[in-house]
Amino acid sequence: MRSKAWHLIRLLPVLTIIGLWSGCAEIQQVAEEQARRSGDERLAKIIHGSGTLVSGLLPISYEEEQSIGAAISLQVVARYGGVYDQPDLTRYLNLVGRAVALTCDRPDIPYHFAVLNSDSINAFAAPAGYVFVTRGLLKQIRNEAELAAVLGHEIAHVSQKHILEVVQRSKRLAGVSEAGLAYAHQNPDVFKNLIDAAAKKLLDEGLDQDKELEGDSLGEVFAARVGYDPTAYVTLLTRLRALKGDDRAFFKTHPNFSTRIHAVQQVIQTQGWKPTGVLLENRFARVRGKI
Amino acid sequence: MKRPSRLAAPLVTLLLLNLCLLTSVALAETVFVQSKTAKLRSGKTSLDSVVADLKFGESLEVLGKEGNWLEVQTARGAKGWIFAGKTTPTKPAGGEDDVLAKLGKSFRRTEAEDVTASAGARGLDKVSEGYANRVGITQQHRDAIDRMAAYRISDQEVEDFLKQGRLGEYAQ
């Protein structure tokens, strides 16, 4: 006579599929408990493993993204001189950033903006909406439209989940089937390795060039949707290129300026946008002295 | 000479009506709301009254266009004007946490619940706090991330900021 366990084995793929589509971890747990009650510990482990495997293949949830984003942000802040707390500047940065974020492809999560106390010229984004701009980059910006485009670029990295892709890739390379909160909670070494790998990619090596160019193109679109002059970003990138040329070490985590300028000009041409003169220089000038 | 049939005139009229109908169908254009906050107004200025608050990703049928404003009708039948910069011709991909990500969360839920419960308004939760301990991040930097995550600006404040800067629909 066939055992209960045998019936459960036959039902395993069906249970897994039902569990997947209904989003019910309970079904997996019931099957697991049933197998355990029937005395088949091995089957219970297989069912538990199927859930683990499934969860490892699925994307990272927002709650997990928050843990990953906060951990990467700690590295960004620690390596770039800490957060520069100037109340008027912080408020202005958050107002411009949130205005741009309202029009992005993922407007339903909160975005947080901060200034890094560093003279290097750079900006970063971490998962779950953390966006950083260095004082060095802010000193090169001349108006609000330019700032909006820079923030738009970083918001695009969050909305398109570019850094989470790096984490997913690191997870696979590390042979880890799940990089979720639960696993990280029980295996802090694994979580540390994943965050260290993602932070190295973000801060030292830079994201893939196509992701950076996508950030430029989408950032340009987001800022233009708000109503800023679409040519402002080209002006800023051209100014930065004039400062140091196309030396990759200068802006080492991004493609060279000529490539980026070309990508943004392509967007402007495709959309048929013209200069509008909406730069808001005066409003930016009011916080410029506080950078 | 043979006289035209009595049916000719109604047939031609019917043909013309069909042609008009086909043309209007061909011209019917759908756009989608591409902003977390968007208002349907009774006229094509930001001073006109608000007819309805629109949701991100909501589809709108375009009835007309004037300058930077579109005259539209919602699926619920409300008619009004929306600033064109708050719409897109293609349905936005994002807007809600990915369905697959939610599914993954469900599978990982049991063990994750006690971890996320502590997250609250802080930036750091138990996992990222644990990471900070392991790599020796100073309290100053931890506090900075917490403050960053807790910083609050309402959608209304952002709207007022846009109005003050005469941006988008507030342009004159």
ipTM score of complex: 0.79
Measured between beta carbons, which residues in chain A are less than 8 angstroms from residue B143? Answer: none
Closest in A73, A186, A227 to B85, CB measured: A227
| A112-116 β-sheet, strand order | A112-116, A130-134, A123-126
Q: What is the mean pLDDT of residues B59-80?
A: 94
Are A263 and A215 spatial neighbours (Cβ–Cβ below 8 Å)?
Answer: no
**Gap from B24 CA to chain A (nearest CA, Å):** 25
Distance, CA of A21 to CA of A23 (rounded, Å): 5
Distance, CA of A193 to CA of A206 (rounded, Å): 18
* Mean pLDDT, contiguous 10-residue spans, chain A (291 residues): 55 50 50 66 60 54 90 97 97 98 92 97 95 97 98 97 87 59 73 90 90 96 95 96 71 80 96 95 96 94
Best interface-test mutation with B: which of A50, A92, A177, A181 has the largest number of B CBs within 10 A? A181
Domain coordinates in residue numbering, chain B? 28-96, 99-170
* pLDDT given at position A53: 46
Measured between beta carbons, which residues in chain B are less than 8 angstroms from residue A226? Answer: 85, 162, 167-168
Tokens of A132: 């950083």
Closest-CA residue of B relative to A160 is B94
Selected from 2.30.30.40, 3.10.129.10, 3.40.605.10, 2.40.50.140, the CATH number assigned to the domain covering B28-96 reads 2.30.30.40
- CA nearest to A48, candidates B114, B115, B111: B111
Tokens of A130: 């953390």
**Gap from B153 CA to chain A (nearest CA, Å):** 7
Q: Do B36 and A107 touch (CB under 8 A)?
A: yes
Measured between beta carbons, which residues in chain B are less than 8 angstroms from residue A19? Answer: 107
* pLDDT given at position A6: 59
**Gap from A111 CA to chain B (nearest CA, Å):** 8
